[in-house]
Every structure is written in C-alpha cells, then in structure tokens.
Structure 1
Amino acid sequence: MRSFFKIQVLFLILILISSRLYSQESGNEKLFEAPYLFGSDTLIELSITTNIKELIKDTGEKSKYHQARLSYQLGDSVVSMLVQLKTRGRFRKDRSICKFPPLRIKFNQASSSYTLFHGQDKLKMVGHCRNNSSRFQQMVFQEYLIYKAYQILTPESFNVRLARVTYKDSAKDVKNLEEYVFFIEDFEKMAKRNGKIPIYKDRIHQDNTMINKVTRLAVFQFMVGNTDWGVPTLHNIKIIAKTPTSRPVPVPYDFDWSSLVNAPYAVPNEILDIESIHERLYRGYKRTPEELEFVFKEFRMKKDAFYALYQNTDLLTEKEINRVIDYFDEFYEIINDPKLVEVYFIDGARQLKYK
C-alpha cells in the first residue's frame, strides 16, 4: 500500500515537471519556454569575441558578415553561441565620425535556441561610436531612454534592451574593450506584437496615416528635439498597418540627431530654418487647436512618467539629467501656453500642398 502511494506521488511530480517544461503553442507542444530578450529591462552582461580590426574597418557599401562568438553568464554556467557581425548605417560608418561603427548581429538559430536570443534572426546594435569616451557613452544612454520614453506613449514602438559588452579580439592585437550597447527589436516582430503587418511602401504622406498617431509622433519628436525624420521617405520611420489597405501607423527610430542625445556631429538639415539641433521645430502638418489639444492632453497625463524615467535612472550623469528636465520643462511651458502653441504648432507647422 505504501509503495502504491509512493508511485502516485512520483506520478504527480512528473506531471508538474512536464507542465513546466512544456507549453502549448498553436496546438503544438514545445519543450521549454525560452526567455524573451525584450521581456525585461535588466542589464545584460555579454562578451563578444571577433577580429575587431577587420570588423570595424569593413565599412564599405558591401560590408560583409564576420564570424564572432557571443557569451554570457547564466548562473554558474556560461552560455556561448556563434553569431555574425557586420557594420551598418550610413553616416556613422564614416571613420572620421565614428571610430567604432554601429553593428548588426545575426544569430545562428541552432546555437541560440533556448537562450536569451531564442527566436531572433538579425538585430541592430547601437553602440558607443568612439572608444573610452564618457560623452559618447552618455549619448548611447540618452538614445536608449528616448526609445523607452516613446514606449510610455504607445506599444506601437520599438522595444530596446541595454547590454554591457566586453569586446575581445580574436587576433589578440587589441585590448579588451568594455562598452554599453542596446539591441533594437526586429521590425517585423514589432509589427506582429502589435497585431499588424510591416509596410515597406514609401511615398505615404503623413496625412494618409492615422492622424492622431502621426500628430502624437510629431509632438514627441518636438519634445525630444528631433527633426531628423520623414514619413514619405521612410527616413528613420517604419510603417505598420492592420491590413495592406488600412490607414498605416508610423513608428519612429534612430534618435541620435536629437537635442537630448546632443551628438557633436549632429547639425540641422539645410532646408530647415534652424541653426542648431537644440532649436525646436515642429515637423508635423497643420492641425486645429482642438486636434492639438487632444494630443497635448496625453502628454500632460504622461508627464510624471517621462520625468520619472530620467530622474530615476542611474545611467545618466546629474548634469545630463538636469539638461533633459530643463528641456522638458520648456516643452510643457510651450504646450500649456495658447500663444506659444500658435507660434510653434500652427503658424510654424508644415502646410499641406494639394494639387
């Protein structure tokens, strides 16, 4: 009798273990639910081993992928996988601008299975631009926090995950380099997370997108001091939609030319009537005061969350935090003053030109 109860207990334990190891997904059993890279804001500690000199010098239009090994600690074990790296971007690929260009990382599906990078294919990495520079490191944190700020407004935004990376040179010619980077969520996965599909068509006018959402986007860009974007040209903008014929939603990315990031290489486009990236310019189209007020209310509701994001961070120096708060204070003074709203958002708005 006692052995019978032992068998029952053992059977129940096996059921519990099985229920933890297996999950039902689309009717198929899947062993072990892998962690989701963007499911946490916890800092990731990584090491990446590759031929650093060959990688960072390969900045031509046809740059290739370079073999690398990515490793991170998991408890008492080390998780290690083969990956590939290549330089990406345009402006920051210039060696006179960035000594260390932005990277794209490509994962091997077999070796990354059941790791933190499970299910990822290719991801953008935003990094430090110049080695051992506190200013450029602050720029990485500032851009990362802008992505987090936009997430406060809407889930129709790119997820990001911060990591501290130790770069190790496989050729042993370069000393280990420790810098911060952040990963940006894949475009198609971001669209799917929001129940939408990616749209690759360009020449879509701002006012042919969801009006309230593109106005909110434009006001946000005004808040962080960024004029380096455009919907029709898909310049630092991605488009998602419910269906191919639905009104699309623009999603911003790449904020390194914003006032908050304060990059030394950032200057306004010549066609804009401003002299500095710190000078605010609304790049949205003309709206009525009522339409603007509808959007401003959301920014007022989220004000405490925006401020807390920066006031509670340990990433930025006190000087950088104060600079952001002062810039946000100016933004809220503007949207709370009807006269300034008229100057910046109505008289200063872009005008529609219909044929």
Structure 2
Amino acid sequence: MTQISRLFNALVCCLLLANSNASPLFENDSTLDVTLSGPLGTLLDANDDTMEMPFTLQADGVDHAIEVRIRGKSRKRVCDIPPLRLNFPSNGTEGTVFENQNKIKLVTHCKNTDASRVDVVEEYAVYKIFSLLSDKSYQVRLLSLTYTDTDKILKETTFTGHGFAIEPASALAERIGGQQADAKGVVLSTLDARQAATVYIFQYLVGNTDWSLVMADADDTCCHNGDLYDIGTRRFFVPYDFDLTGLVNARYAKPDPSLRISRVTQRRYRGYCIDPAELKTALIAIKARKPEILDVVRSLPVLSQKDIAKKVKFLEGFFRVAENEDKLIKSFDNKCL
C-alpha cells in the first residue's frame, strides 16, 4: 500500500468516525415538533434543580423515556416555566433525531403569555446570528413544544410554546477540535483575537451587556454567560444566554444600574481592550453578513410583521452607525474595559 493510499484510508476513517458522532438534532434548521409529557406541575412546584423526574418526549413519531430537571439562575426566579435539562438514556436513541444526545439544555418560554412565546424565538435568533459570525458558537434547534402535565396540578394541563435546544458543550468541543477550559479567570493575551473582537462587536450589535470575562459570584468557573474553549495554544470565548439583550427586550430585562442606561435597548460597548485593527477586521466581516443577519429575523415564526419590523429596525441602527467604521472603532477603543 502506498503512502498516499494509507493517508486516504486514514482520512476516510476519520470522516466516518466524525459522522458516527454527529448529531442529526443540530444538522437541520426546520422547526421540530416535540411533545413533553410528565409530572410538570410537581417539577415546577418543587423548584429544585437537583431533582429529576421521569417524562416522555415524543418527536418524529418516536417516544423517548427521559429524565427532566429544571435549571437556570435568574430565570429560575422570574419564570413560571424555567429552562429545563433533558437527560436521555445511554441507548435507545439510535436512528432518531436525538441520536448521540445525552443531556440537552432546553430553553423554554418564560411565562404562558404571547409576549414570552415571542421572546424565546427572538433569543433563538440571537444564537443563530452569532453562528453566522463564528463556527466557535453553540448550535441551536428550534422546537414547537406541547407540554402535558400528567399530575394535573397546573391550571392549564396542556399548553404549547416554542423553545430551543442548545448544543452540549462536549459536542461543541468535539466539533471545533478543542476542549472546554475549566478556569477561574482568563488572561486576555491568551484569547484568540479574532474571536474576541467578533464577540465584543456582536454583543454590541444585539445590545447585550449581561456578560463578562470575569467569573460571576454564583459560578465556579469563568465566565459570566460565556464558556472558554482551548484549541491548541489559543483560548476562545463562546457566549450564551441572550434573554437580556436589547434585541429580545424581554419584559423582565433590566440593565445593571452601574451601566447608567435605563433600557436594555440602549447599546453600551462592554468589550475589553484589544488591537483596533482586529476590531476593524471583525466589524467588516460582520457588516458583510448584514443580509443573512436580517434574514434570520425576517424568517422567524410566531413574530408578527410589526414585531419583525421592530427587530430589523433595531439591528439596522447598528449597521447605520457602522457605516463610519473608523469612528465606531475609535469609540470602542475609548470605552474598552
């Protein structure tokens, strides 16, 4: 066997192994219909994020026996229907949309109101926008959910709403060829400059101030609303949790008083100091994605045409200011942390 043949066979084996671990859940942008049945009222009343309860999840005509627990921090306090974690068994998902899945984070609509049903779809859009800008990002899948409380504790024992599943950290690490970093803090010089600049401007684009490269008080590792991944010698910050962004503008969203802004729809640059040349490169790349970014919002379900126009206008505000690249980069450089 020639050296070229050996290399070819090795490449084929690697591709087959990668495909065997691939998840069909995040390979499709269509909305997945899901029914979640179980003691939902008991689970929500307990408000205990360590307690798992048995549920049945149905999708594509297949029933999955899973364990469900509530999760989240601030949303666990303010939401009637907090985010959930779905724990699939180690086998039985082969050949289904949940193949190769174990534990999945599910973002739910916070309250049984039309406004909350819109908010969760808008937060899904923020994840999709960042995935246009970087492959070091969490993939998401939009779900159309029907909930059934088999204990009949809730006022509405059956109700519907959209939600979305988030790619597990282990799957992201495998996809990008890295590993999640377990760090108490981050040295700015170790961050990949292109990713960092992209994150800083993206957060400004969507109006997000609820993030930091510093470990939050209630956390054990860095960072606030973001994870760190190591690829070789470089460290990548991957943001998540966008319900407090100006683009979503959830009813419960309030900016930190120390920022001296009255609404989350007021943009405030929270990026750290970085080479302005990297910021400009990232800004040019983001501007080039404007049509796709706006299309993400325009294609969302649930939102009325009025809602869509409002969100497009919010994003257009960024692109209008970004027409003068040097002026915007200078303002970022003046305000960096």
CA deviation after TM superposition for structure 1 residue 289, in Å = 4.3
User: Cα offset for 1:270?
Assistant: 2.8
8 Å CA contact retained: 1:163, 1:182? yes
Shift of 1:343: 6.2
Structure 2 vs 1, CA of residues 204 and 28 (structure 1 numbering), >3 Å: closer, same or farther? closer
Separation in structure 2 between the aligned mates of residue 88 and residue 35 of structure 1, nearest angstrom: 23
Tell me: CA distance 1:171–1:213, structure 2 relative to 1, closer, same or farther (3 Å). same
1:189 corresponds in structure 2 to 171
Q: Percent identity at matched positions?
A: 27
Q: 1:25: how far off?
A: 6.0
Q: Which residue of 2 aligns with 1:17?
A: none
After superposition, the C-alpha distances for 1:206-233 in whole angstroms (9 at most, x for unaligned) are: 4431112111101000000001111232
Q: Residue 138 of structure 2 is aligned with which of 140, 158, 166?
A: 158
- Whole-angstrom CA distance in 2 between matches of 1:28 and 1:88: 35
Alignment equivalent of 2:246, drawn from 246, 259, 276: 259
1:5 aligns to what? none
**Corresponding residue of 1:149:** 129
Contact kept in structure 2, 1:33 and 1:114, CA below 8 Å: no
TM-score (norm 1): 0.83
Which residue pairs with 1:229 in the alignment? 211
Residue number in structure 2 paired with 1:333: 320
Letter in 2 for 1:202: K
Match of 1:55 in 2: 43
Letter in 2 for 1:160: V
2:219 aligns with none
Q: State whether residues 109 and 118 of structure 1, in contact with CA within 8 Å, keep that contact through their aligned partners in structure 2.
A: no
What is the aligned partner in structure 2 of residue 21 from structure 1? none
The DSSP-based 3-state class of the residue aligned with 1:182 is strand
CA distance in 2, matches of 1:48, 1:33: 25
Quote the residue 1:210 is aligned against: 192
Instruction: From 57, 60, 80, give the equivalent of 2:63.
Output: 80
RMSD: 2.3
- Is the contact between residue 145 and residue 162 of structure 2 (CA under 8 Å) also seen in structure 1? yes
Change (3 A) 1:188 1:33: closer
Aligned length: 315
1:199 pairs with 2:181? yes
Residue by residue over 1:138-171, the C-alpha shift from the partner in whole angstroms, topping out at 9 and shown as x without a partner, is 1011000111111111111001011111111222
Unaligned runs of 5+ in 1: 1-23, 351-355
**Structure 1 residue 251 displacement after superposition:** 0.5
Structure 1 residues 204, 289: CA separation in 2 closer, same or farther (over 3 Å shift)? Answer: closer
Q: Does 1:242 align with 2:231?
A: yes
Partner of 1:112: 93
Shift of the 242–208 alpha-carbon distance from structure 1 to 2, 3 Å rule, reads closer
Q: Is the 8 A contact 1:34 1:116 kept in 2?
A: no
Match of residue 100 from structure 1: 81
Question: Looking at CA atoms only, which structure, 1 or 2, has the larger radius of gyration?
Answer: 1
Secondary structure of 2:54's match? strand
Could you list the structure 1 runs, at least 4 aligned residues long, displaced by more than 4 angstroms after superposition: 24-29, 32-35
Report the counterpart of residue 293 of structure 1 in structure 2: 280
- Aligned counterpart, 1:176: 158
Indicate the SS of the match to 1:150: helix
Query: What is the alpha-carbon distance in structure 2 between the residues aligned to residue 262 and residue 58 of structure 1?
Result: 29
Q: Which amino acid aligns with 2:187?
A: H
- CA contact 1:34–1:115 (8 Å) conserved in 2: no
Unmatched 5+ stretches in structure 2: 1-11, 216-222
**Match status 1:281 vs 2:253:** no
Residue type matched to 1:147 in 2?
A: Y
Deviation at 1:322, TM superposition (A): 1.3
Aligned to 1:91: 74
Q: Which amino acid aligns with 2:141?
A: R
The separation in 2 between residues aligned to 1:182 and 1:50, in whole angstroms, is 19
Task: State the SS of the aligned residue for 1:110.
Answer: coil
1:309 matches 2:296: yes
Instruction: String of CA shifts for 1:248-304, please: whole Å, max 9, x gaps.
Output: 010011000000111121111233232221111111123454332211110121111
Paired residue type of 1:320: D
Quote the Cα distance in structure 2 between the aligned partners of 1:54 and 1:125. Answer: 18
